[in-house]
Amino acid sequence: MRMEEVYEQLQLWVEENRSHTMLGATAQYIPALAEQEPNQLGICIMDYDGDTYLAGETDVNFTLQSVSKIISFVALCHFKGMDFVLDKVDVEPTGEAFNSIIPFEIHRPGKPFNPLINAGAITVASMLPGDTPDEKFERFILFVEGMIGRRLELNEEVYQSEWKTAHRNRALAYYLKESNLLELDVEEALEIYIRLCSISIGLKDLSKIGLVIAHDGYDPVEKQQIFSSDVARIAKVLMVTCGMYNSSGKFAAHVGLPAKSGVSGGILASVPPKWHSEEKAFRKGCGIAVFGPAIDAHGNSAAGTMLLRQLSAEWDLSIF
């Protein structure tokens, strides 16, 4: 497909799917996120050559929220090795809500089911390199900077908003501490976890991360290996099985892409190369970032999910 055709299709599909924002609402339990404009919808696709295709509201920044979980998992595996990480966090879907305490009561004393639920992500955040939350945050920021070529910053307003309302996450952290899974005290572990969730990012930067994951940790634009293909493979499996909260199965069936969502309305998706689809767009693979802050009951962008479903169907992007 010609670049002009891709642009035209994206613009059309964004407007067609904008009405789906009415099926969701901004995250009301985090005051700073509740204030977002719910009717926004934007997308950025970055292809193998680093060219970007944008449509809708694309000049907005939003916080990573749970999208940070897959990136922190990749970072920790890169720094300390997969065996070290998987000794503390499993890779199984839970069937429970992302912030549920139930698994701890049923399976105690057990490790978190996967790094994409809050308990797993808090554990992962506490194990990042460094002795303090500041040192761990800096190492994470530098790791991401190595992928996108610029430094990301903390959204202090969102951080403070989440810190003041993190009652359930604080309870989860105490369970984790009791099971000797945290490498920090409870308050410090919670601090680094919430700081990672509160990092501000744009669509272009997020699509670049998706591109690197899609190509097994290799940056095709800068021609360098960022992290190992084994880490990327596990990351993509987790994104398919656990990345879209409790609707991960439906998303896999209808969209068929490794993806991770966050309650700010962001979605990170990775499209591996599909060399046999010569007539379709992005046969060399791509990274996709979507932002639509009106989220559904599961915590996923209502319009963003539908937009990705249409893209996958029309351009044959599904990995299945």
* Cα separation, 269 vs 90, whole angstroms: 22
Q: In what order do the strands lie in the sheet with 199-202?
A: 61-63, 199-202, 153-154
For residue 162, say whether it is annotated as part of any ligand binding site. Answer: yes
Predicted structure pTM score: 0.94
* Cα separation, 314 vs 18, whole angstroms: 18
Q: Which amino acid is at 48?
A: Y
pLDDT, mean over the chain: 93
For residue 207, say whether it is annotated as part of any ligand binding site. Answer: no
**9-15 CB contacts, 8 Å cutoff, 24+ apart:** 9/314, 10/43, 10/45, 10/53, 10/54, 10/55, 11/55, 11/56, 13/55, 13/307, 13/310, 13/311, 13/314, 14/41, 14/42, 14/43, 14/55, 14/56, 14/307, 15/56
For residue 263, say whether it is annotated as part of any ligand binding site. Answer: yes
Q: CA angle at residue 212 from 206 to 215, to 5 degrees?
A: 140
Asked whether the domain spanning 68-199 has the same topology as the one spanning 3-65+201-315, the reply is yes
| CATH architecture observed for domain 3-65+201-315 | 3-Layer(aba) Sandwich (3.40)
Please tell us whether the domain made up of 68-199 is placed in CATH 3.20.20.140: no
Residue positions annotated with a catalytic role: 66, 69, 193, 245, 263
pLDDT tens readout for residues 202-257: 999 999 999 999 999 999 999 999 999 999 999 999 999 999 999 999 999 999 99
Could you state, in order of their start, the residue ranges of all structural domains in the chain? Answer: 3-65+201-315, 68-199
pLDDT tens readout for residues 34-82: 999 999 999 999 999 999 999 999 999 999 999 999 999 999 999 999 9
**pLDDT recorded at residue 97:** 55
**pLDDT recorded at residue 102:** 58
